[in-house]
Structure formats: structure tokens, C-alpha cells
């Protein structure tokens, strides 16, 4: 069985604060992919990152960074110096190697205020 847990339902920060969105997953597969998607108020989900299970290197893309730790089955997402435009719902997702569809967490709603 596959499961993705995003324990934080809503987070509110003030602009320029750093914020970390947590993602914990469960899978019996040895090969799998982890994702983060952003859903801004407009509604269309936007792909942010894909990470396969054999690559535990952390990744940084501008103000975004991801920390993948297989030992704790976590794939956390940090936004540094948050901005109002970061306000969105963020989804963590898991894809089994042999399957086609993503299993999504319930999402974390991030509100960044000026």
C-alpha cells in the first residue's frame, strides 16, 4: 500500500520567513518517485520537482530546497525567504515504479502575508 501524509493542513507565515512543508510517505516498493506540486489560487497544479528513490541528494532551486531522507521516509520542502506569490496549496505525491498514477497527500495550504 502507498500512502503520503502531509500533517500540516495550513501554515501561515510573514513574508521573508523560511517555511518547511513536511511530507512522510509509506511504500513497499524499492523503486519509486516522489513529487511536489504547487496549486496556486488559479487552480492548475504545477510540477515542482521529481526525485527517484535512489537519489538522496538534496536539491536546491532558487529559494526552494528539498530534503529527501529514506531513513525517515520523508521528503520535506523548504521555501527560503518566502514571498506572497508562494501562497498556494502544496501537494506531495508518490508514484510506484510499476504503476502509472500518483498518490497524493492531502496538501498543505501556505499563506504568506506581507
Partner 1 sequence: DVKVTQSSRYLVKRTGEKVFLECVQDMDHENMFWYRQDPGLGLRLIYFSYDVKMKEKGDIPEGYSVSREKKERFSLILESASTNQTSMYLCASSPLLGAGVNTGELFFGEGSRLTVL
Q: Is residue 92 within 8 Å of residue 104, measured between CB atoms?
A: yes
Of 77, 2, 91, 3, nearest to 47 by C-alpha is: 91
Of the two residues 13 and 102, which places its CB atom closer to partner 1 in the complex?
Answer: 102
| Binding track, positions 35-74, relative to partner 1; x by CB under 8 A | x-x----xxxxxx--x-x----------------------
CB of 87 to partner 1, least distance (A): 17
- CA atoms of 30 and 54, how far apart (whole Å): 9
Q: Does residue 113 bind partner 1 (CB under 8 A)?
A: no
> Largest Cα–Cα distance in the chain?
44
Quick note: the x/- pattern for partner 1 over 80-109, rule CB under 8 A, is -----------x-x-x---xxxxxxxxx--
Amino acid at each position: 500500500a502507498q500512502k503520503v501524509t502531509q500533517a500540516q493542513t495550513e501554515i501561515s507565515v510573514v513574508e521573508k520567513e523560511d517555511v518547511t512543508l513536511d511530507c512522510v510517505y509509506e511504500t513497499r516498493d524499492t523503486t519509486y518517485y516522489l513529487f511536489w506540486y504547487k496549486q496556486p489560487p488559479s487552480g492548475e497544479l504545477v510540477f515542482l520537482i521529481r526525485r527517484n528513490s535512489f537519489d538522496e541528494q538534496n536539491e536546491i532551486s532558487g529559494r526552494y530546497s528539498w530534503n529527501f531522507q529514506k531513513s525517515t521516509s520523508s521528503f520535506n520542502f523548504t521555501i527560503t525567504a518566502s514571498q506572497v506569490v508562494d501562497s498556494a496549496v502544496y501537494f506531495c505525491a508518490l508514484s510506484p515504479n510499476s504503476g502509472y498514477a500518483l498518490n497524493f497527500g492531502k496538501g498543505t495550504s501556505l499563506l504568506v502575508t506581507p
